[in-house]
Amino acid sequence: MSKMKVTILGCGSALPTEKHFNSSQVLNIGEKLFMIDCGEGAQIRLRQLKIKTSKLNHIFISHLHGDHCFGLIGFISTLGMLGRKENLYIYAHADLEKILQPQIDYFCQEMPYRVIFNHINPRANEVIFEDRTIRVTTIPLKHAIPTCGFLFEEKEKERHLIREKINFFKVPVRQLHLLKKGADFVCPDGKIIPNSQLTKAGEPAKKYAYCSDTAYFEKVIPIIQGADCLFHEATFTEKETIRAKETFHSTAKQAAEIALKAQVKKLLIGHYSARYRNYETILAEAKSVFEDTFATEDGNIFEI
Protein backbone atom coordinates (compact mmCIF):
# COMPACT_ATOMS: atom_id res chain seq x y z
CA MET A 1 0.00 0.00 0.00
CA SER A 2 1.53 3.25 -1.08
CA LYS A 3 1.50 6.01 1.46
CA MET A 4 1.00 9.73 1.11
CA LYS A 5 0.92 12.03 4.09
CA VAL A 6 1.41 15.70 4.76
CA THR A 7 3.01 17.21 7.86
CA ILE A 8 2.16 20.78 8.78
CA LEU A 9 5.33 22.62 9.86
CA GLY A 10 3.62 25.98 10.06
CA CYS A 11 -0.01 26.97 9.60
CA GLY A 12 0.16 30.64 10.56
CA SER A 13 -0.12 33.54 8.15
CA ALA A 14 2.01 36.66 7.80
CA LEU A 15 2.56 37.12 11.53
CA PRO A 16 3.77 34.03 13.37
CA THR A 17 2.01 33.43 16.68
CA GLU A 18 2.93 31.69 19.90
CA LYS A 19 1.86 28.32 18.46
CA HIS A 20 1.82 28.80 14.71
CA PHE A 21 4.92 29.30 12.61
CA ASN A 22 4.72 30.72 9.08
CA SER A 23 3.67 28.54 6.14
CA SER A 24 5.53 25.31 5.52
CA GLN A 25 4.57 21.70 4.92
CA VAL A 26 6.31 18.47 4.08
CA LEU A 27 4.55 16.04 1.77
CA ASN A 28 5.70 12.43 2.02
CA ILE A 29 4.94 10.30 -1.03
CA GLY A 30 6.26 6.79 -0.54
CA GLU A 31 9.14 8.15 1.58
CA LYS A 32 10.12 10.81 -0.96
CA LEU A 33 9.77 14.18 0.79
CA PHE A 34 8.64 17.40 -0.83
CA MET A 35 8.70 20.68 1.07
CA ILE A 36 6.00 23.20 0.21
CA ASP A 37 6.85 26.75 1.25
CA CYS A 38 9.47 27.44 3.88
CA GLY A 39 8.55 30.12 6.39
CA GLU A 40 10.86 31.15 9.22
CA GLY A 41 11.49 28.30 11.63
CA ALA A 42 10.65 25.47 9.19
CA GLN A 43 14.00 23.83 10.01
CA ILE A 44 13.19 24.05 13.72
CA ARG A 45 9.86 22.26 13.19
CA LEU A 46 11.60 19.57 11.11
CA ARG A 47 13.96 19.04 14.03
CA GLN A 48 11.16 19.03 16.59
CA LEU A 49 9.16 16.53 14.53
CA LYS A 50 12.26 14.41 13.88
CA ILE A 51 11.80 14.50 10.12
CA LYS A 52 14.93 13.33 8.30
CA THR A 53 16.05 15.48 5.42
CA SER A 54 18.04 12.93 3.42
CA LYS A 55 14.99 12.13 1.26
CA LEU A 56 14.02 15.79 0.94
CA ASN A 57 15.39 17.00 -2.39
CA HIS A 58 12.73 19.34 -3.71
CA ILE A 59 11.28 22.56 -2.29
CA PHE A 60 8.32 24.32 -3.89
CA ILE A 61 7.75 28.00 -3.09
CA SER A 62 4.28 29.36 -3.86
CA HIS A 63 5.22 33.04 -3.88
CA LEU A 64 7.75 35.52 -2.61
CA HIS A 65 6.10 36.92 0.47
CA GLY A 66 8.45 36.54 3.41
CA ASP A 67 6.19 34.28 5.44
CA HIS A 68 6.54 31.65 2.72
CA CYS A 69 10.31 31.74 2.18
CA PHE A 70 12.27 33.36 5.05
CA GLY A 71 13.14 29.93 6.42
CA LEU A 72 15.05 28.91 3.30
CA ILE A 73 18.45 30.44 4.07
CA GLY A 74 18.59 28.89 7.54
CA PHE A 75 17.51 25.50 6.26
CA ILE A 76 19.97 25.57 3.35
CA SER A 77 22.76 26.59 5.69
CA THR A 78 21.93 23.85 8.18
CA LEU A 79 21.85 21.16 5.48
CA GLY A 80 25.36 22.23 4.53
CA MET A 81 26.58 21.95 8.13
CA LEU A 82 25.02 18.50 8.33
CA GLY A 83 27.18 17.45 5.37
CA ARG A 84 24.51 17.05 2.71
CA LYS A 85 25.95 16.02 -0.67
CA GLU A 86 22.88 15.72 -2.91
CA ASN A 87 21.60 18.61 -4.98
CA LEU A 88 18.67 20.51 -3.54
CA TYR A 89 16.15 21.73 -6.12
CA ILE A 90 14.06 24.82 -5.46
CA TYR A 91 11.05 25.59 -7.65
CA ALA A 92 10.08 29.24 -7.40
CA HIS A 93 9.61 32.56 -9.14
CA ALA A 94 12.86 33.66 -10.79
CA ASP A 95 13.30 36.52 -8.31
CA LEU A 96 14.02 34.07 -5.50
CA GLU A 97 17.36 33.12 -7.01
CA LYS A 98 18.35 36.79 -7.26
CA ILE A 99 17.56 37.32 -3.60
CA LEU A 100 18.77 34.04 -2.16
CA GLN A 101 21.92 33.26 -4.14
CA PRO A 102 23.87 36.25 -2.72
CA GLN A 103 22.96 35.05 0.77
CA ILE A 104 24.08 31.51 -0.01
CA ASP A 105 27.33 32.87 -1.45
CA TYR A 106 27.98 34.94 1.67
CA PHE A 107 26.81 32.68 4.48
CA CYS A 108 27.30 29.16 3.10
CA GLN A 109 30.86 29.15 1.89
CA GLU A 110 32.35 25.72 1.24
CA MET A 111 28.88 24.20 1.12
CA PRO A 112 29.18 20.49 0.26
CA TYR A 113 26.10 20.42 -2.00
CA ARG A 114 24.45 22.54 -4.67
CA VAL A 115 21.21 24.48 -4.60
CA ILE A 116 19.61 24.48 -8.05
CA PHE A 117 16.89 26.97 -8.81
CA ASN A 118 14.12 26.05 -11.23
CA HIS A 119 12.23 29.13 -12.29
CA ILE A 120 8.52 28.59 -12.53
CA ASN A 121 5.80 30.64 -14.17
CA PRO A 122 3.09 31.06 -11.54
CA ARG A 123 0.60 32.16 -14.20
CA ALA A 124 0.73 28.87 -16.10
CA ASN A 125 -0.79 25.49 -15.27
CA GLU A 126 2.11 23.25 -16.23
CA VAL A 127 4.22 20.32 -15.10
CA ILE A 128 7.30 21.51 -13.20
CA PHE A 129 8.51 18.22 -11.76
CA GLU A 130 8.18 14.64 -12.86
CA ASP A 131 9.81 11.37 -12.01
CA ARG A 132 8.88 7.71 -12.47
CA THR A 133 6.00 7.84 -10.01
CA ILE A 134 5.13 11.47 -9.27
CA ARG A 135 4.12 14.58 -11.18
CA VAL A 136 3.92 18.14 -9.82
CA THR A 137 1.90 20.84 -11.59
CA THR A 138 1.52 24.55 -10.90
CA ILE A 139 -1.93 25.93 -10.03
CA PRO A 140 -2.23 29.63 -10.86
CA LEU A 141 -3.77 31.50 -7.91
CA LYS A 142 -5.12 35.00 -7.35
CA HIS A 143 -2.97 36.95 -4.93
CA ALA A 144 -1.33 40.37 -4.55
CA ILE A 145 1.84 39.11 -6.27
CA PRO A 146 2.42 36.24 -8.74
CA THR A 147 1.49 33.10 -6.83
CA CYS A 148 0.78 29.49 -7.61
CA GLY A 149 -0.31 26.43 -5.75
CA PHE A 150 0.96 22.95 -6.48
CA LEU A 151 -0.78 19.74 -7.44
CA PHE A 152 1.11 16.58 -6.46
CA GLU A 153 -0.11 13.50 -8.33
CA GLU A 154 1.02 9.95 -8.20
CA LYS A 155 1.20 8.49 -11.66
CA GLU A 156 -1.17 5.65 -12.42
CA LYS A 157 0.01 2.64 -10.53
CA GLU A 158 0.83 -0.76 -12.00
CA ARG A 159 -1.82 -3.48 -11.86
CA HIS A 160 -1.30 -6.38 -9.47
CA LEU A 161 -0.69 -9.81 -10.99
CA ILE A 162 -3.08 -12.62 -9.98
CA ARG A 163 -0.42 -15.20 -9.27
CA GLU A 164 -2.52 -18.39 -9.82
CA LYS A 165 -3.74 -17.12 -13.20
CA ILE A 166 -0.20 -16.24 -14.27
CA ASN A 167 0.88 -19.76 -13.35
CA PHE A 168 -2.13 -21.36 -14.99
CA PHE A 169 -1.54 -19.63 -18.33
CA LYS A 170 2.25 -20.04 -17.97
CA VAL A 171 2.93 -16.35 -18.72
CA PRO A 172 6.70 -15.95 -19.34
CA VAL A 173 8.47 -13.79 -16.75
CA ARG A 174 9.67 -11.31 -19.37
CA GLN A 175 6.06 -10.40 -20.21
CA LEU A 176 4.95 -9.70 -16.65
CA HIS A 177 5.88 -5.99 -16.74
CA LEU A 178 3.58 -5.56 -19.78
CA LEU A 179 0.70 -7.20 -17.95
CA LYS A 180 1.25 -4.87 -15.00
CA LYS A 181 0.81 -1.97 -17.43
CA GLY A 182 -2.48 -3.43 -18.72
CA ALA A 183 -1.49 -5.57 -21.73
CA ASP A 184 -3.45 -8.75 -22.60
CA PHE A 185 -1.57 -12.05 -22.87
CA VAL A 186 -1.36 -13.96 -26.16
CA CYS A 187 -0.99 -17.71 -25.59
CA PRO A 188 1.40 -19.72 -27.80
CA ASP A 189 -1.72 -21.05 -29.59
CA GLY A 190 -2.88 -17.50 -30.40
CA LYS A 191 -5.64 -17.37 -27.81
CA ILE A 192 -5.95 -13.96 -26.14
CA ILE A 193 -6.38 -13.81 -22.36
CA PRO A 194 -7.71 -10.36 -21.44
CA ASN A 195 -5.67 -8.44 -18.87
CA SER A 196 -8.64 -8.25 -16.53
CA GLN A 197 -8.42 -12.04 -16.00
CA LEU A 198 -4.73 -11.86 -15.10
CA THR A 199 -4.48 -8.75 -12.94
CA LYS A 200 -6.31 -6.63 -10.41
CA ALA A 201 -6.32 -2.85 -10.33
CA GLY A 202 -3.42 -1.24 -8.46
CA GLU A 203 -3.97 1.20 -5.64
CA PRO A 204 -5.57 4.38 -6.86
CA ALA A 205 -3.09 7.14 -7.69
CA LYS A 206 -3.46 9.91 -5.17
CA LYS A 207 -3.58 13.66 -5.55
CA TYR A 208 -2.73 16.41 -3.08
CA ALA A 209 -3.41 20.04 -3.93
CA TYR A 210 -1.93 23.04 -2.10
CA CYS A 211 -3.61 26.42 -2.65
CA SER A 212 -2.10 29.25 -0.63
CA ASP A 213 -2.16 32.25 -0.72
CA THR A 214 -5.23 33.12 -2.77
CA ALA A 215 -8.51 34.96 -2.94
CA TYR A 216 -11.58 32.90 -3.84
CA PHE A 217 -10.68 31.77 -7.35
CA GLU A 218 -12.82 29.30 -9.25
CA LYS A 219 -10.25 28.71 -11.97
CA VAL A 220 -8.46 26.30 -9.67
CA ILE A 221 -11.47 23.97 -9.60
CA PRO A 222 -10.88 22.02 -12.84
CA ILE A 223 -7.19 21.62 -11.97
CA ILE A 224 -7.74 20.15 -8.52
CA GLN A 225 -10.94 18.25 -9.43
CA GLY A 226 -11.33 15.09 -7.37
CA ALA A 227 -8.13 15.53 -5.36
CA ASP A 228 -7.84 13.20 -2.37
CA CYS A 229 -6.85 16.12 -0.22
CA LEU A 230 -6.85 19.89 -0.69
CA PHE A 231 -5.03 22.35 1.52
CA HIS A 232 -6.66 25.71 0.98
CA GLU A 233 -5.83 28.86 2.89
CA ALA A 234 -8.58 30.18 5.18
CA THR A 235 -7.13 33.37 6.56
CA PHE A 236 -10.43 34.88 7.72
CA THR A 237 -13.93 34.16 9.01
CA GLU A 238 -17.06 35.29 7.13
CA LYS A 239 -17.11 38.53 9.08
CA GLU A 240 -13.93 39.59 7.30
CA THR A 241 -15.10 38.77 3.78
CA ILE A 242 -14.37 42.27 2.52
CA ARG A 243 -10.93 42.30 4.11
CA ALA A 244 -10.26 38.88 2.57
CA LYS A 245 -11.05 40.22 -0.88
CA GLU A 246 -8.96 43.37 -0.38
CA THR A 247 -5.93 41.38 0.72
CA PHE A 248 -6.37 38.58 -1.84
CA HIS A 249 -7.06 35.99 0.83
CA SER A 250 -9.97 33.60 1.42
CA THR A 251 -12.51 33.05 4.15
CA ALA A 252 -12.97 29.55 5.54
CA LYS A 253 -16.33 29.32 3.76
CA GLN A 254 -14.77 30.23 0.44
CA ALA A 255 -12.12 27.54 0.92
CA ALA A 256 -14.91 25.05 1.58
CA GLU A 257 -16.82 26.17 -1.52
CA ILE A 258 -13.77 25.45 -3.64
CA ALA A 259 -13.46 22.03 -1.98
CA LEU A 260 -17.13 21.31 -2.60
CA LYS A 261 -17.13 22.39 -6.23
CA ALA A 262 -13.90 20.51 -6.95
CA GLN A 263 -15.35 17.39 -5.25
CA VAL A 264 -12.19 16.77 -3.27
CA LYS A 265 -12.27 14.08 -0.60
CA LYS A 266 -10.81 16.05 2.29
CA LEU A 267 -10.12 19.72 3.00
CA LEU A 268 -7.33 21.04 5.23
CA ILE A 269 -7.46 24.70 6.17
CA GLY A 270 -4.81 26.95 7.67
CA HIS A 271 -2.93 30.24 7.13
CA TYR A 272 -5.11 31.72 9.87
CA SER A 273 -4.86 35.41 10.57
CA ALA A 274 -2.99 36.09 13.83
CA ARG A 275 -6.09 37.91 15.11
CA TYR A 276 -7.79 34.59 15.92
CA ARG A 277 -7.02 32.90 19.21
CA ASN A 278 -8.88 29.70 18.35
CA TYR A 279 -10.25 28.19 15.18
CA GLU A 280 -13.71 27.01 16.20
CA THR A 281 -15.51 29.64 14.15
CA ILE A 282 -13.24 29.19 11.14
CA LEU A 283 -13.70 25.44 11.24
CA ALA A 284 -17.46 25.63 11.81
CA GLU A 285 -17.90 28.01 8.89
CA ALA A 286 -15.96 25.72 6.57
CA LYS A 287 -17.81 22.61 7.81
CA SER A 288 -21.16 24.29 7.15
CA VAL A 289 -20.25 24.04 3.45
CA PHE A 290 -17.89 21.04 3.33
CA GLU A 291 -18.12 18.52 6.16
CA ASP A 292 -14.76 16.80 5.74
CA THR A 293 -12.75 19.84 6.75
CA PHE A 294 -9.87 19.78 9.21
CA ALA A 295 -8.30 22.82 10.86
CA THR A 296 -4.55 22.25 10.77
CA GLU A 297 -2.15 22.92 13.64
CA ASP A 298 1.66 22.97 13.55
CA GLY A 299 2.92 19.42 13.87
CA ASN A 300 -0.26 17.75 12.57
CA ILE A 301 0.14 14.84 10.17
CA PHE A 302 -2.65 13.97 7.74
CA GLU A 303 -2.85 10.69 5.83
CA ILE A 304 -4.02 11.24 2.27
Does 205 sit near a second copy (CB under 8 A)? no
Instruction: Pick the stretch among 67-75, 115-123, 191-199, 280-288 that binds a second copy (CB under 8 A).
Output: 67-75
Q: How far is the CB of 52 from a second copy (least distance, A)?
A: 14
Instruction: Pick the stretch among 95-103, 181-189, 250-258, 260-268 that binds a second copy (CB under 8 A).
Output: 95-103
Does 48 sit near a second copy (CB under 8 A)? yes
The CA distance from 196 to 194, in Å, is 5
**Given the complex with a second copy, which of 7 and 199 has the nearer CB atom?**
7
Closest CA to 51 of 94, 18, 91, 5: 5
Does 77 sit near a second copy (CB under 8 A)? yes
Q: Would you name the residues annotated as active-site residues?
A: 67
Q: How far is CA 215 from CA 211, 243, 245, in A?
A: 10, 10, 6
Q: Which of 65, 143, 207, 232 binds a second copy (CB under 8 A)?
A: 65
What DSSP string runs through the chain? ---EEEEEEE-B-SS--SS-PSSEEEEEETTEEEEEEE-TTHHHHHHHTT--STTEEEEE-----GGGTTTHHHHHHHHHHTT--S-EEEEE-THHHHHHHHHHHHH-TT-SS-EEEEE--TTS--EEEE-SSEEEEEEE--SSS--EEEEEEEPPPPPEE-HHHHHHTT--GGGHHHHHTT--EE-TTS-EE-HHHHEE--PPPPEEEEE-S--S-GGGHHHHTT-SEEEEE--B-GGGHHHHHHTT--BHHHHHHHHHHTT-S-EEEE-B-TT-S--HHHHHHHHTT-SSEEE--TT-EEE-
Which amino acid is present at 19? Answer: K
Strand partners, 115: 88
Q: Which of residues 21-40 bind a second copy (CB under 8 A)?
A: 21-22, 40
**Given the complex with a second copy, which of 65 and 206 has the nearer CB atom?**
65
Binding track over 3-22 against a second copy, x by CB under 8 A: -----------xxxxx--xx
Does 99 sit near a second copy (CB under 8 A)? yes
Q: How far is the CB of 95 from a second copy (least distance, A)?
A: 7
Q: Which of 87, 94, 101, 102 binds a second copy (CB under 8 A)?
A: 102
Q: How far is the CB of 6 from a second copy (least distance, A)?
A: 21
Does 146 sit near a second copy (CB under 8 A)? no
**Given the complex with a second copy, which of 71 and 140 has the nearer CB atom?**
71
Q: Which of 55, 107, 119, 218 binds a second copy (CB under 8 A)?
A: 107
Q: Which of 54, 82, 218, 288 binds a second copy (CB under 8 A)?
A: 82
Does 110 sit near a second copy (CB under 8 A)? no
Does 164 sit near a second copy (CB under 8 A)? no
In the complex, the residues that contact a second copy under the rule CB under 8 A are: 14-18, 21-22, 40-41, 43-44, 47-48, 64-66, 70-71, 73-74, 77-78, 81-82, 95, 99, 102-103, 106-108
